[in-house]
């Protein structure tokens, strides 16, 4: 049995305030790509995880891996006795603002619900997901949704950007999320535009871009490169970075942009995909 851990994008991410517990109050529009990490499962007595793929070396498969935390939480909540041998194909860069561990954990929850044939409610699943990380509930849904609170209060969003052509670019710099949030200047720049997804994207911003650029100046270079591509509707950083994305009017324009960017920066990681 298999699942995809769809790459997560924040089409816009407005930081509205800092809570006493150190977390930040957000307004965001989550969207998901057709591509992502791969997760598969086989029967086993205990819980095990192996990691393969282009970014496996940078990730541990140890007990702190969020996939195993997800499996343990689900086993505990649903009193499961069976085990699972999980195999993660790590294709997305680590600590890069596109879900990564959160999407992997969410894929594990979806996969194990099927594999162990659990009759768990959506509310129970949401509770397990929220306990694993602020982005995990959105990643469980893996469809375009508005996020509020820590990013875990979700509501349905318009699907007008479904199938839009996207190019993801990462300058191969890992950015730790807490450090980027700590660099936010504390200025509330206002709410998201709640029209279509396209409106929210065009009128929106990512308030974590400035602190991310302080930590990783290459992010500014990626944004400039993407923004200069013909046919780019918008170019923005996702989450706490360093991955940036651009949406295009069509796949042809996206593919020309991919050629252009990779010619000038052959070392940057890149993914051509579409929104799901």
Helices (H), 63-163: 66-77, 101-115, 122-132, 136-141
Nearer to ligand C5P among residue 177 and residue 273 (C-beta)? 177
Decide: is 86 part of the binding site for ligand C5P (CB under 6 A): no
Binding of residue 178 to ligand C5P (CB under 6 A): yes
Q: Does 150 interact with ligand C5P (rule: CB under 6 A)?
A: yes
62 touching ligand C5P, by CB under 6 A: no
How do beta strands 84-89 and 47-52 pair? parallel
254 counts as binding ligand C5P under rule CB under 6 A = no
Contact with ligand C5P (CB under 6 A) among 151, 171, 204, 239:
151
User: What torsion do the CA atoms of 34, 110, 66, 243 make, to the nearest 10 degrees?
Assistant: 10
Give catalytic residues, as residue numbers.
8, 135
Considering only 16, 23, 85, 203, the residue that binds ligand C5P (CB under 6 A) is 23
Determine if 20 is a binding residue for ligand C5P (CB under 6 A): no
Say how many residues touch ligand C5P, by CB under 6 A: 12
Contacting residue, 181, 248, 268, 269, with ligand C5P by CB under 6 A: 181
Among 24, 90, 113, 141, binds ligand C5P (CB under 6 A): 24
Nearest 5°: phi and psi at 161? Answer: -100, 10
Cis, peptide link before residue 242, omega less than 30° from 0:
yes
Residue 138 dihedral angles phi and psi, to the nearest 5°: -65, -40
Q: Which stretch binds ligand C5P (CB under 6 A): 69-77, 128-136, 153-161, 205-213?
A: 128-136
- Interface with ligand C5P (CB under 6 A), residue from 36, 38, 100, 133: 133
Assign 180 to helix, strand or coil. helix
Please work out, in degrees rounded to the nearest 5, the angle formed at the alpha carbon of residue 242 by the alpha carbons of 241 and 246: 85
Q: What's the Cα-to-Cα distance from 72 to each of 21, 41, 134, 197, 265, rounded to whole Å?
A: 26, 14, 18, 35, 41
239 touches ligand C5P (CB under 6 A):
no
Q: Which stretch binds ligand C5P (CB under 6 A): 51-59, 112-120, 127-135, 208-216?
A: 127-135
Segment 204-233, which members bind ligand C5P (CB under 6 A)?
none
Q: What is d(CA 3, CA 110) in angstroms, rounded to the nearest whole number? A: 8
- HEC assignment per residue over 50-66: EEECCCHHHCCCCCCCH
Identify which of residues 138 and 165 has a Cβ nearer to ligand C5P in the complex: 138
95 scored as a contact of ligand C5P (CB under 6 A) = no
Q: Does 73 bind ligand C5P (CB under 6 A)?
A: no
Q: For the residues of 140-157, what is the DSSP string, one character each?
A: HH-S-EEEEETTTEEEE-
Binding site for ligand C5P (CB under 6 A): 23-24, 26, 102, 133-135, 150-151, 177-178, 181
């Amino acid at each position: 049995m298999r699942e995809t851990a769809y790459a997560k994008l924040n089409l816009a991410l407005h930081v509205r305030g800092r809570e006493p517990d150190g977390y930040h109050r957000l307004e965001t529009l989550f969207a998901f790509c057709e591509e992502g990490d791969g997760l598969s499962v086989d029967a086993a007595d205990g819980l095990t995880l192996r990691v393969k793929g282009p970014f496996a070396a940078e990730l541990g498969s140890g007990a702190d891996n969020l996939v195993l935390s997800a499996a343990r939480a689900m086993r505990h909540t649903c009193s499961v006795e069976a085990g699972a041998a999980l195999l993660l194909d790590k294709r997305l860069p680590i600590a890069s603002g596109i879900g990564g561990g959160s999407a992997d954990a969410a894929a594990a929850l979806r996969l194990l619900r099927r594999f162990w044939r659990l009759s768990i409610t959506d509310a129970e699943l949401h509770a397990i997901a929220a306990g694993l990380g602020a982005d995990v509930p959105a990643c469980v849904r893996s469809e375009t949704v508005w996020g509020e609170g820590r990013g875990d209060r979700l509501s349905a969003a318009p699907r007008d950007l479904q199938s839009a052509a996207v190019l993801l670019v990462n300058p191969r710099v890992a950015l730790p999320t807490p450090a980027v949030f700590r660099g936010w200047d504390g200025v509330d720049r206002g709410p998201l535009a709640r029209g279509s997804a396209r409106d929210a994207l065009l009128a929106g911003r990512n308030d974590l871009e400035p602190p991310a650029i302080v930590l990783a100046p290459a992010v500014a270079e990626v944004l400039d490169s993407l923004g200069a591509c013909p046919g780019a509707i918008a170019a923005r950083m996702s989450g706490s970075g360093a991955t940036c994305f651009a949406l295009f009017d069509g796949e042809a324009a996206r593919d020309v942009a991919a050629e252009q960017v990779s010619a000038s920066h052959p070392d940057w990681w890149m993914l051509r995909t579409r929104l799901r």
